[in-house]
Amino acid sequence: MLIHKKWFQAIVTAILLSLLILLLNQIHFFFEPVLIYLGAIAVPLIGGGILFYISRPLLITLEKYRIHRIPGILIIFLLFLFLGFLITQFIAPIAQEQFTKLVNNIPDMADMLVDTVTYWQQNQDIIPSQFNGTIENVANNLEGYLQDASKVIINVISQLIGFVFALVLIPFFLFFMLKDGDKLIPFLKQFLNDRAAKSFEKLARSIDHTLHAFILGQMTVSIVVGLLLLVGYLIIDLNYALTLALFAMIMNVIPFVGPFLAVIPAILVGLFQNPILAVWVAVITVIAQQLEGNFVSPNVMGKALNIHPLTIITLILAAGSLAGFLGLLFAIPTYAVVKTIVSHFYNQWLDRKTAE
């Protein structure tokens, strides 16, 4: 019968999904209060979740040494406070000073670049004359472009500062996640029958493993790359080394494209300081990425995510255009979780088919 044909079932499924999306779009006002509520708790929930996956291995280790959970959680909080103290006392002032100098030097850097382009344009005969007007226009507006870019960076920094003030609830979320996180799956299982409970537990463990692999792995990779770049920048005596390394560490949180975005400011600074430094920055970046790709990522993240690079690029482009910087951050873990869920139910369907 036609209804049993796979192509027919696929068409019907696509039509039903399209109708569902259309229906949800028509009644979006019904979900608006829910979205507002989710938006209010998103920052502490996501922030607490990230810190939960970072600190849970330490809590498990402390419990192995017969330290009860509540004292173990207090030890973790003290370690976070100590780390925050070190950052605010020794790292933040230097980074702030370097960032301020970098922003203040942008006009001088723009003038230097304009002079370089003008000199090169007047002493070359390779580029056809019809392109000279375009080059001259870009050179004349270059300072404006750089100043606009600096305004964007400052705006992002100000948004991040505002974001920091929204993090006051994260410690409370983190405390209860560490305290009662292992009780969630047993609590939900009691509402399911035995078969569904086993399936749900397996799925929950798979999602937990996926998120753990991504969050802990990506954070470790970013810190290692940031430290490698900092050492390299200090060796070649690059200006604003700490600020540029911190920027690279933040950008490396974005999979695949993060390292390419991270190296751009460092190369530009190297060009203005001494053109040969730009070459050394590129060499240091390649070395750091090779060490990360061959030694750090395989040992930290392994093949837990198993996502093709082309898929990563597509997801990042789509998420970046739809949700901006947050889309870049959460596109890959969201896809990994969805992939885990789909794989789980697909494997269950195959098991049932085999059993029949």
| 240 found inside a domain | yes
Q: By mean pLDDT, which of 247-251, 281-285, 295-299, 301-305 is the weakest?
A: 301-305
pLDDT value for 124:
54
Q: Would 143 be classed as within a structural domain?
A: no
Which pLDDT value is given to residue 354? 76
The yes-or-no verdict on residue 173 having pLDDT over 60 is: yes
pLDDT of res. 280: 93
DSSP structural state of residue 236:
T
- Give the pLDDT band of residue 8 (cuts 50, 70, 90): low
CA distance 178 to 32: 31
Q: Is 239 a domain residue?
A: yes
pLDDT at 6: 66
Q: Of the given ranges (59-73, 205-219, 301-315), which has the lowest mean pLDDT?
A: 301-315
Question: Helices 106-122 and 132-140 sit at what angle, rounded to 10 degrees?
Answer: 160
The tens digit of pLDDT for each residue in 199-228 reads 888 899 989 988 888 888 888 888 988 999
- Residue 186 pLDDT greater than 90, yes or no: no
Q: For residue 311, is pLDDT > 70?
A: yes
CB-CB neighbours of 332 under 10 Å = 21
Q: What are phi and psi of 293, to 5 degrees?
A: -70, -30
Convert the pLDDT of each residue in 322-348 to its tens digit.
Answer: 666 667 777 788 888 888 888 888 888
Q: Is the pLDDT of residue 146 over 60?
A: no
Are 127 and 156 in contact, with CB atoms under 8 Å apart?
A: no
Query: Residue 3: how many CA atoms within 13 Å on its side-chain side?
Result: 0
Range of the domain at 314: 181-356
263 alpha-carbon distance from chain centroid: 16
CA neighbours closer than 13 Å in the CB half-sphere of residue 330: 13
What are the backbone dihedrals phi and psi of residue 267, each rounded to the nearest 5 degrees, phi first? -65, -40
Give pLDDT tens digits for 87-126.
Answer: 888 888 888 888 888 877 777 766 666 666 565 555 555 5
- Give alpha helix (H) positions in the chain: 6-26, 28-64, 69-86, 92-104, 106-122, 132-140, 142-165, 170-180, 184-189, 194-235, 241-251, 258-273, 275-291, 297-300, 309-355
**264 vs 278: CA distance, rounded Å:** 10
CB contact set of 53 (below 8 Å; sequence gap of 6+)? 211, 212, 215, 216
What pTM does this model have?
0.71
What pLDDT shows up at residue 351?
Answer: 77
DSSP state of 239: T
* Residue at 159 is within a domain: no
In angstroms, rounded to a whole number, what is the distance separating the alpha carbons of residues 309 and 228? 24
Alpha carbons within 13 A on the beta-carbon side of 35 = 5
Q: Residue 30 falls within a domain, yes or no?
A: no
Residue 47 lies in a domain: no
Specify the number of domains making up the chain: 1
Q: Give the burial string for 210-223 (b: 16+ CB within 10 Å, else e).
A: bbbbbbbbbbbbbe
Residue 36 is assigned to a structural domain of this protein:
no
Is residue 87, in this structure, part of any structural domain at all?
no
